[in-house]
Every structure is written in structure tokens, then in C-alpha cells.
Amino acid sequence: MAAQTEDTFSEEEVFEALSWGMPHTEARRLAKFIADDPASPELIRLEKAEGPVTGIYTEGLLLILSLVSSETKRKAELRLAHQRLQLVLTPEQHAEWEARRMKLRQQLIDGGEHPAKD
């Protein structure tokens, strides 16, 4: 079984993020195909391309994944930086990202969808 790389998301991580906004059966089904953990048997292999490619991990999806745990936050920020062809986010980009995260987190908490942890 291949090990997870530093910025891949497991099926469970994706499921938890998706389950905040959709029925669990749909979230589970979609998580099987979105997860890019090399150990996932349902992994859809996408051809890697040079340059900024977001693929299925849009900034919005990375934002919600970043709320799952401190580990998914780290991976989401790393993936976002790589998609922008950077090693890390600049301090300004990080501040903007964090403001967006906190706004989404509060919306989920207010809607009763997200546990008040972070």
C-alpha cells in the first residue's frame, strides 16, 4: 500500500469536509472519487501537467478541507501554494486565506454544521 504524500487528502478527510453540506451517503460516494490518497482503491488517476492546475481541488474545496483538522489545514495551504506555483503562501496571501477560513468556519458553526474547534 502506497503512503500518503505530504499534500494528498484521504477519503475520510474529504468525506468529513463534504458531510457538512450534503447527505452522508452522497458525501461518502463523492469522497471516494475526490480523494487523491494513493492508497485509495477508487483513485481516479489524472495526468499531471506543467503549470498551475487546480483539477478537482479548487480553492473553495481546499478551504473547506482546511477546516477538518490541523493536518488538512497544512495540506490545503501547501496544495494552494503549489497551485499558485509557490513553495509557501506569502504573508499577505496567508492572511487573506485565514480570513476566508474563519468566515467559512463561522458560517458552518452558525448553521450547526461544524464543531466549534480549530
Q: Which residues of 74-98 are buried (b: 16+ CB within 10 A; e: fewer)?
A: ebbbbbbbebeeeeebeeeeeeebe
- Dump pLDDT digits (tens) for 16-52: 999 998 999 999 999 988 888 766 555 555 544 444 4
Give the pTM. Answer: 0.77
